[in-house]
Amino acid sequence: MADPKLDVHGNPVLPGIEEGDPVEAYRMPLMEHLIELRSRLIKALGAALVCCIVALFFSQEIWNLLVQPMNDALETTGRGTMAMSTALEGFLTMVKVAGLAGLLAASPIIFWQIWQFVAPGLYPHEKKPVLPMVIASTGLFATGITFGYLVIFRYTFPYLLEFADENVQAVLSIDAYLGLATRLLLAFGLCFQLPVVVYFLARIGLIDARDMIQGFRYSVVAIFVIAAIITPPDIFSQTLMAVPLLILYGIGIIIAWLVSTKKREPELT
């Protein structure tokens, strides 16, 4: 009986697998996969820890930038000030700011480690669209955060403060503000991923441009519901959030028209 062919790790090549298959060449036992995963996790966590420590030295500057829209709103309306509710709140807020900034700074390294772990299991034609999609996703995420910071924060905070009686002064917790700002910016960044989501759904054949056009009315309702959930409860903020999402939906229709693999039965005439 002939000896079985072995791959680069000394494992027998399965029947039906072509010799030189780039994916099969990286087939490893479970324990080796776990060791590789541990190595990638250690590197990712190490990078995050280093970035968080460095960000701690700049946490005050980062906080000043993040809180500037609210300070401007308080100064414009003359309706209150930022405050600490406990003695530890200032310190803990700076630690949280450093942690968030550190994770954001380390995200390219973290994603690179994830890619290094996943990539050997993909064929070349599967890897090809990954880099453009990562670049597009990163750009859209940054655009969403920028839009939230420059537009939503700038116009919504003064609008909300004006709702209170003119004799009422706002005393805003810095920890509560950090939580609100973080949730809003993260939500904006994720919502701006709509074209990327459409691309993947169209590529696997779940949707096409016709589906998106036919579902436009329902999508408008869904977009306004999402905007109502992630923004403060007023129609002004919801509209500011919904408009760019509707534009991104239109871009998604074009993307689906270009890349969809969905097969449709010929229409009877």
Assign residue 80 a region: left if phi > 0, alpha if psi is -120 to 50, beta otherwise?
Answer: left
Q: Using pLDDT thresholds of 50, 70 and 90, give the confidence band for residue 30.
A: low
Query: What percentage of the chain carries pLDDT values higher than 90?
Result: 29
DSSP assignment of 1-42 equals -PPPPB-TTSPBPPTTPPTT-TTGGG---HHHHHHHHHHHHH
- What span, in angstroms and rounded, lies between the C-alpha atoms of 262 and 11? 38
Q: What digits encode the pLDDT tens for the residues 185-243?
A: 888 888 899 998 999 888 888 888 899 999 999 999 999 888 888 777 667 778 888 88
Kindly state the DSSP code that residue 81 receives in the 8-state scheme: E
State the DSSP code for 49.
H
Tens digit of each residue's pLDDT (9 = 90 or more) over 43-64: 999 999 999 999 999 999 999 9
Taking every pair of Cα atoms in the chain, the longest distance, rounded to a whole number of angstroms, is 93
Q: What is the pLDDT of residues 74-97, one digit of tens each?
A: 888 877 788 888 888 889 999 999
d(CA 234, CA 154): 15
Give dist(CA 99, CA 68) in Å, integer: 19
* Termini Cα distance of the chain: 62
What does the DSSP 8-state code read for residue 150? I
Answer yes or no: is pLDDT of 9 > 60.
no
* Beta partners for residue 170, in sequence order: 80
CA distance 104 to 52: 9
Q: How many CB atoms lie within 10 A of CB 100?
A: 20
pTM for the whole thing? 0.76
Of 124, 63, 139, 153, nearest in space to 99 by CA: 63
Say if CB 248 and CB 216 are below 8 A apart.
no
